[in-house]
Chains A and B, each alone.
Chain A
Amino acid sequence: MSERAMLEIRHFTKSYGGKTKAADDVNLSVYGGDICGFIGHNGAGKSTTIRAVVGVLDFSRGEIFIDGHSVKDDPIACKQVTAYIPDNPDLYENLTGIQYLNFVADVFDIGAAERKERIGRYADLFEIREALGDLIGSYSHGMKQKVAIISALIHEPKLLVLDEPFVGLDPKASFTLKEIMREMCREGTAIFFSTHVLDVAEKLCNKVAIIRKGRIIASGTMEELTEGHSLEEAFLEADNEK
């Protein structure tokens, strides 16, 4: 495990209209090689935290560092090493899949040969190669999700942030994504993802953070949190206690 946290969230607080706190003093560290599951009820503050991490949402209190760079002060350096897959990917509907992937590859300045190899590899893994010439608007939700995943993997990020990544994916694609996540983790990538599927989190993650009403109520390694029980039991217990 590397020394410096790839993702470090310190006292992150986000309030709407000055009153409702969607995230309240969130502290979290994810290191290279970690797969950290972020779990909580609907409206608990998972997406707010994730959107702030990837530089989409502005915030005034707290700090978020990615690979040592501040999201507030140096957002471009942070985004250069991060990939984000939203829960409901709003991609350019009137571009073809390949046009969109080339756009992202251009943004990350990926060479022609590398991009061809990576697009081809992931398109085959997700069985979407033949649809890449069609407009994204004609894709199903799952196909859009697959294109969003490929676009996130294309530049080999150091930090992968995913918001409910398995929603809409077929069983095979879901399995493929889990395998890719494990492989990336072995290669030192830090992965931070939100999910409602506790079974998936339990099998995939080595770290877990539970958020409730904007506050982290439990976090640590899977073993520390579950103490021999299932993650579902640990989650319900933590949820009842607070």
Chain B
Amino acid sequence: MKNKNLLLFRTLLLSTSRRNTYRYSRDKKKRGKIVGSAVASVLLYAMLMAYCGLMCFGYGLIGLIDSVPVLCALTIAAIAFFMTVFKTNGYLFQFKEYDMLMSLPFKAKTVAASRFLYMYVKSLPWYLSISASMLIGYGYYARPETAVYPVWLILSLFLPLIPMLGAAFVGFLIARISAGFRKTNLLQTVITFLFVLFFFFLRFFLQDMFANGKAEQTLEAASAMTESAADVYLPARWFSDAVRKLDPVSILLTAGVSAVLFAVIFHIVGRSYRSINSALKSHAASKRFTLRAQKKRSPAAAIAFKEFRRMTGSTLYMTNGAMGEVLAALVGVITLAVGSDKIVALVTGGAPLEAHILRPAIPFIVYFFIGMFATTVCSPSLEGKNYWIVQSLPIDKRTLYRGKMLFNMLLSVPFMAFSTLCLCFSGGVPLLETASYLLLGFALCAFSTAWGCVCGVRHMRVDWENEVEVIKQGPAVMIYLLPNMFVVMILTVLVVFLGMALDHVHIALGFTAAAALFAALSYRRVMKLADRT
């Protein structure tokens, strides 16, 4: 008899394997898209590897190569934790084939564990890209024994497990708490938001604690912080000792603790898995509706409103789509309350930087949050099986995509304006300069919206099994997210340097023109794609 855990896990992988789809699909366009997204994925992995590799070489150049194993473990742990917090709800709960699987003779624990393992395997290439690139840098500078290479690579498979299990357990607890209330979905969204925000801001307090206000703002200080963090997050220390000293106890601890934690967590999850899913998938009908006066909207506004309802109806969509906006607003409020000087000192670890120098970066700092996700990236694909509704309506695709873009603008612009105004007010930015930053922020929102829509329409995929595939793993999201983030980081540094020599308003207007141009080009591309699809 076949092992049911493995059977289910294997089938789950096969059912979402692009190779399987490529092999059996007769749709040439679909096959082409699979090849295209595979190429795009390889490019993104290459970008990530280059970034991590360069960071590692930086450590090597100044003689801090011994900190790289800890850095590797912490980087993977942080990414794995945050990515999993956002994905847990979609992966473990509320997936489409839940009824089919639960009606088959599988234990609830088996179904939950297979979903987790599936999530782990799907994200493993990201973590291995980070680990492999850092191993190359470490190997180049540290010249370790040959045995270190296989030990490093094998233990890299375990590195994301503990943070992922922790995040999955948190997701489970959130679902468990929410399942006891009538407004399950709303409560789940709110708790997830609070949890992510807590950890986002906790990071700065920890950084402040480790830096202790004394360290200089150099890679050495970062290295000292990394080492201190490893004393708190023990798996990073175990990994470091395992690869640096080839310590068998550390090797066993890294692998063994992950395995034990997996068994314990899924024993607990399995016990109330069915009741949580039952609560999440059931919706009580109030049956108290009374028909009152109804509003008339334009087709584009109607689509924008539909997008709003779609977003608020899904915890996963809401927490991913609106997290940037909420963070931007909170950063604005906190800056206003605490003062920009203190925030700059906290973020830069007390580096000798005046807040004034950073002023031109305000629109990009705000955009870093607002633009980290555009709803237009995934909203075309999220139509999913309901795509026939908009297809059968007497509206052209241009109107459809305009509606989707309108929603993202309505979502992002108010938060951008609020956050920008808070930062400007706190930093004592003159009125004209503030206006120019608002203008630049608007242009950046427009660019994010239109470019997101290009990615979303170009890589549209409606045959998904689980909305995580679109919101967290879709090629459109990947193509939009990572380059956007890297470019914004580069622009933030660039604009600060330019601000030392040029007038801030002129810089903002120059970047506004550039962003507007790219937004217009992207919009034109969306309209062309609309005519073609």
Contacts and interface: CB of A to CB of B under 8 A. Distances in A.
Nearest to B27: A138
Among the interface residues A19, A57, A58, A107, which one has the most CB atoms of the partner chain B within 10 A?
A: A58
B260 interface: no
Contacts of B96: 90
Interface string B13-52: 0111100110011110000000000000000000000000
B97 A94 contact: no
Given A20-B285, A134-B26, A94 B21 contact: yes
Contact of B104 (A79, A94, A133, A138): A79
Contacts of B287: 20
A17 B26 contact: no
A40 to B, nearest CB: 15
Interface residues of B, number: 43
Given A16-B283, A93-B465, A84 B20 contact: no
B104 A104 contact: yes
A56 interface: yes
B105 A43 contact: no
A107 B104 contact: yes
A89 B99 CA distance: 9
Contact of B2 (A16, A58, A93, A109): A109
Contact of B102 (A55, A59, A134): A55
Contact of B4 (A54, A92, A107, A137): A107
Contacts of B286: 20
A55 B107 CA distance: 11
A195 interface: no
A135 B34 CA distance: 15
A116 B1 CA distance: 17
B99 A86 contact: yes
A17 B182 contact: yes
B62 interface: no
Interface in A92-126: 92-96, 99, 103-104, 106-109
Contacts of A93: 15, 463, 465
Contacts of B212: none
Interface stretch (B274-282, B345-353, B524-532): B274-282
A84 B181 CA distance: 29
B32 to A, nearest CB: 16
Given A91-B97, A92-B97, A95-B20, A16 B284 contact: yes
Contacts of A56: 98-99, 102-103, 274, 278
A238 B74 CA distance: 67
B391 interface: no
Interface in A196-211: none
26 contacts: A19-B284, A20-B284, A20-B286, A56-B102, A56-B274, A59-B278, A75-B107, A76-B107, A79-B103, A86-B99, A90-B97, A90-B100, A91-B100, A92-B15, A92-B465, A94-B15, A94-B21, A94-B465, A95-B14, A96-B24, A107-B8, A133-B24, A134-B24, A135-B21, A135-B25, A137-B463
The 10 A-B pairs with the shortest beta carbon distances in the complex, nearest first, are A16-B284, A92-B15, A17-B182, A58-B278, A79-B105, A84-B103, A58-B275, A54-B103, A20-B284, A90-B96
Interface of A: 16-20, 22, 43, 51, 54-59, 75-76, 79-80, 82, 84, 86, 89-96, 99, 103-104, 106-109, 133-135, 137-138
